[in-house]
């Protein structure tokens, strides 16, 4: 008996030690994860916090007193409102066009075998692996050499944004199309629907979530872009260009207000999307 | 309409491709040609003439090799820092976060929702001379009493690291999340310690994510000029700052164009070397 107990005891001890070690290790990683998230959130918190600051002088670097004034009078800085409006207009138009163009490319790439498929893939991939400064610079040289056709301004920004968003749309929609059940379309065709009707009634609704995701990504990319836009904007100001200009003087808290507002809307959509995916996942599981 | 598509099946893919490919062709490929054309011109604004001026490239290299090297060094350090910081977080989300997974993924992408320039400016507040970070570092004598964080190489590299962190964390997470937990159980059954299992199973299986992450972090980081402009001084200028200033301030279009080509060419060469080292399959997924 004693020999058994003696034999068991060290193992039990080792078990406890291992468990303690595992406990520490597990929690060390959790603590690290929370710290890392804190690091990611810190500047965001600062942006939001300083949107409520009433700065003592011109510089909004040091916390003074809390105020809602910046939010109420967010457009009291000359040029900020028109810059925000331009950003929203460009983002909306560019996203619509890029989502349409990108979805069509994705359909062709996944659904069809054709000569030039590899080249198409490469052409879609290249803009993603080119630094923004080079994309912006090359487009600028095109516009500088064709000033008789087009002047730098709203439409050159629009053209640039569609160009760099298309590739992101293709990748997003392609990922969805690859895992797509073609039997549904075949069934519709067997029931006498032609290709256009099948596309409209079956393919498009099934693609809608991926297109929406791609459009949201495109909108976010467009509204945030500085480098390409700055090079191709001419005298037109988007919100990031406005911030760049005013950062050389002193950034007013109204800039933080606009950035916070954009952030809060995006986070709300993101949370909504997480919730929606969770619910539709539960629903499809219920059907199956 | 339906009949048309049916009779001309071979044309359909090209009809689908046409608008998007035309757009990319005219506004991505053609501009690359114009960039090349501009890079070989000579003269002073606004009278540039195409003269096969290859000396633009050698002049650009002798004048700005410092900024070019600095760009790749900064981007390299930031990429390694991103990997070291992001890997444990991605690992935790993939294996330990349970029902909180999607929420933490949202946390990772959250910085993207704040305008790039504004989130970089926020580091001005955090690292400010009168700010809490500098005060604490001065109190514990890590910084000299008059030492600062802003306008230093450290500030620029930290800014780049912060801004491109999600580019690293997401692909690493995706590759970790796809690992079959049974493989880790098998490793344990074969008497591997947790650490050995990580080293022999988890780490190799997450390699595609690491490769993808380093690429999509390094490439934009090397071309970045916002962090150097906002958080640094002229001593931290990167190649992006030079290109931008040449285009918009000194109006030296040929010089700017040749620098753009040098940047792109160097990245391409690095990409090929990297592909040789890690294998092409991992690179293209």
The model carries a pTM of 0.87
Contact B253 A142 (CB under 8 A): no
Q: How many CA atoms lie within 13 A of A36 on its CB side?
A: 28
Contact B27 A139 (CB under 8 A): yes
- Report the residue from A123, A231, A263 with minimal CB separation from B247: A231
Q: What whole-number distance in Å separates Cα of residue B100 and Cα of residue A281? A: 16
Q: Tell me the β-bridge partners of A54.
A: A65
- Report the residue from B14, B114, B260 with minimal CB separation from A134: B260
Give the rounded distance of the alpha carbon of B267 from its chain centre. Answer: 11
* Total residues found in chain A within this entry: 288
Q: What distances in angstroms separate CA A261 from CA A40, A88, B11, B132, one per listed residue? A: 18, 13, 46, 26
* pLDDT the model gives residue B99: 82
- Most confident of the following: A142-146, A160-164, A172-176: A160-164
The CB-based long-range contact list for A243-246 (8 Å cut-off, 24+ gap) reads A243/B115, A243/B117, A243/B118, A243/B121, A244/B117, A246/A77
Three-state SS annotation for A51-72: CCEECCCCCCCCCCEECCHHHH
Q: What whole-number distance in Å separates Cα of residue B93 and Cα of residue B91? A: 5
* Total residues found in chain B within this entry: 285
pLDDT at B281 over 80: no
Burial class (CB in 10 A: 0-12, 13-18, 19+), B126: buried
Q: Please report residues of A whose CB lies closer than 8 A to that of B271.
A: 129
Q: What distances in angstroms separate CA A137 from CA A4, A120, A163, B28, B125, one per listed residue? A: 78, 23, 13, 11, 31
* pLDDT the model gives residue B280: 59
Under the banding of pLDDT at 50, 70 and 90, the label for residue B125 is: confident
* pLDDT the model gives residue B282: 54
Residue A201 in tokens: 């009634």
What one-character-per-residue DSSP string does B221-245 give?
A: HHH--HHHHHHS-GGG--HHHHHHH
pLDDT digits (tens, 9 = 90+) for B131-184: 888 988 998 988 888 888 889 999 999 999 999 999 999 999 999 998 988 998
Stretch (H or E) spanning B42? strand B41-44
Q: Which residues of B1-35 are buried (b: 16+ CB within 10 A; e: fewer)?
A: eeeeeeeeeeebbeebbeebbebbeebbeebbebb
pLDDT digits (tens, 9 = 90+) for A72-108: 999 999 999 999 999 999 999 999 999 999 999 999 9
**Contacting A residues, span 165-204, partner chain B, CB-CB under 8 Å:** 166-167, 170, 194-197
Q: Name the least confident of A40-49, A109-118, A161-170, B218-227.
A: A109-118
* pLDDT the model gives residue A1: 43
Under the banding of pLDDT at 50, 70 and 90, the label for residue A56 is: confident
Give the rounded distance of the alpha carbon of A32 from its chain centre. Answer: 25
Q: Tell me the β-bridge partners of B48.
A: B43
Mean pLDDT of B96-112: 89
Q: What distances in angstroms separate CA A116 from CA A262, B24, B201, B283, one per listed residue? A: 40, 15, 39, 21
pLDDT at A283 over 80: no
pLDDT digits (tens, 9 = 90+) for A102-149: 999 999 998 888 888 889 999 998 998 899 999 999 999 999 989 889
Closest by Cα among B147, B191, B166 to B108: B166
* pLDDT the model gives residue B110: 92
Contact B28 A135 (CB under 8 A): yes
Whether the CB of B178 is below 8 Å from some CB of chain A: the reply is: no
**Contacting A residues, span 34-73, partner chain B, CB-CB under 8 Å:** 36-37, 39-44, 46-47, 50, 60-62
ipTM: 0.88
Averaged pLDDT of chain B: 90
Give the rounded distance of the alpha carbon of B205 from its chain centre. Answer: 23
Is domain B60-284 classified as CATH 2.40.50.140?
A: no
* pLDDT the model gives residue B265: 92
Give the rounded distance of the alpha carbon of B150 from its chain centre. Answer: 22
In sequence order, the 6+-apart residues with CB closer than 8 A to the CB of A95 are A165, A215, A218, A219, A222
Residue A100 in tokens: 């349409």
Strands B41-44 and B47-50: antiparallel
Contact B113 A137 (CB under 8 A): no
pLDDT at A32 over 60: yes
**Contacting B residues, span 92-131, partner chain A, CB-CB under 8 Å:** 92-93, 96-97, 102-104, 106-119, 121-126, 128, 130-131
pLDDT digits (tens, 9 = 90+) for B47-95: 898 999 999 999 999 999 999 999 999 999 999 999 999 999 999 999 9
Q: What whole-number distance in Å separates Cα of residue B122 and Cα of residue B240? A: 21
For A111, the closest chain B residue by CA position comes to B13
pLDDT digits (tens, 9 = 90+) for B235-262: 999 999 999 999 999 999 999 999 999 9
Strand intervals (E) in A24-181: 53-54, 65-66
Q: What whole-number distance in Å separates Cα of residue B156 and Cα of residue A55? A: 26
Contact B13 A123 (CB under 8 A): no
* pLDDT the model gives residue B98: 82
The SS3 of residue B129 is coil
Q: B266, B274 in Cβ contact below 8 A?
A: no
pLDDT at B97 over 90: no
């Amino acid at each position: 008996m004693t020999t058994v107990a003696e034999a068991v005891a060290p193992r039990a001890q080792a078990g406890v030690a291992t468990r303690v070690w595992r406990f520490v290790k597990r929690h060390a990683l959790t603590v690290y994860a929370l710290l890392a998230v804190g690091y990611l959130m810190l500047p965001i918190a600062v942006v939001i916090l300083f949107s409520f600051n009433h700065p003592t002088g011109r510089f909004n670097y040091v916390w003074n007193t809390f105020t809602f004034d910046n939010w109420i009078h967010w457009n009291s800085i000359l040029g900020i409102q028109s810059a925000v409006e331009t950003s929203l207009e460009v983002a909306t138009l560019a996203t619509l066009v890029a989502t349409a163009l990108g979805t069509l490319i994705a359909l062709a790439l996944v659904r069809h075998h054709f000569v030039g498929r590899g080249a198409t893939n490469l052409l879609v991939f290249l803009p993603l692996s080119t630094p923004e400064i080079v994309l912006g610079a090359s487009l600028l040289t095109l516009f500088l050499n064709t000033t008789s056709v087009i002047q730098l301004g709203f439409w050159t920004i629009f053209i640039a944004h569609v160009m760099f968003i298309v590739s992101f749309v293709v990748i997003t929609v392609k990922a969805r199309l690859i895992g797509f059940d073609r039997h549904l379309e075949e069934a519709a065709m067997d029931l006498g629907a032609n290709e256009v009707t099948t596309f409209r009634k079956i393919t498009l609704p099934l693609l809608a979530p991926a297109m929406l995701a791609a459009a949201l990504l495109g909108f976010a990319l467009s509204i945030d872009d500085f480098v390409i836009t700055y090079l191709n904007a001419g005298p037109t100001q988007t919100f990031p260009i406005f911030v760049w200009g005013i950062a050389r003087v002193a950034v007013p808290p109204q800039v933080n207000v606009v950035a916070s507002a954009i952030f809060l809307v995006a986070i709300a959509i993101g949370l909504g999307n997480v919730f929606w995916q969770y619910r539709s996942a539960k629903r499809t599981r219920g059907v199956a | 309409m339906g009949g048309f598509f049916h009779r001309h099946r071979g044309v359909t893919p090209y009809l689908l491709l046409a608008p998007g490919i035309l757009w990319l062709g005219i506004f991505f490929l053609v501009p690359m040609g114009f960039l090349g054309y501009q890079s070989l011109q000579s003269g002073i604004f606004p009278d540039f003439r195409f003269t096969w001026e290859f000396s633009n490239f050698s002049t650009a290299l002798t004048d700005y090799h410092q900024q070019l090297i600095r760009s790749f060094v900064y981007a390299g350090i930031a990429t390694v820092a991103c990997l070291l910081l992001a890997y444990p977080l991605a690992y935790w989300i993939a294996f330990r976060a349970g029902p909180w997974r999607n929420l933490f993924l949202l946390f990772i992408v959250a910085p993207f929702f704040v305008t790039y320039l504004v989130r970089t400016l926020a580091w001005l507040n955090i690292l400010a001379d009168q700010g809490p970070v500098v005060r604490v570092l001065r109190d514990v004598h890590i910084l000299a009493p008059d030492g600062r964080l802003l306008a230093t190489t450290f500030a620029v590299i930290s800014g780049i690291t912060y801004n491109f962190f999600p580019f690293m964390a997401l692909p690493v997470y995706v590759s970790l999340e796809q690992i079959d937990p049974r493989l880790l159980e098998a490793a344990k059954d074969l008497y591997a310690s947790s650490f050995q299992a990580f080293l022999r199973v988890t780490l190799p299986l997450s390699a595609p994510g690491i490769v993808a992450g380093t690429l999509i972090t390094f490439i934009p980081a090397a071309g970045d000029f916002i962090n150097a402009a906002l958080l640094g001084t002229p001593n931290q200028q990167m190649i992006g700052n030079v290109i931008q200033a040449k285009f918009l301030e000194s109006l030296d279009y040929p010089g700017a164009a040749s620098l753009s080509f040098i940047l792109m060419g160097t990245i391409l060469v690095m990409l090929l070397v990297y592909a040789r080292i890690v294998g092409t399959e991992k690179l293209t997924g």
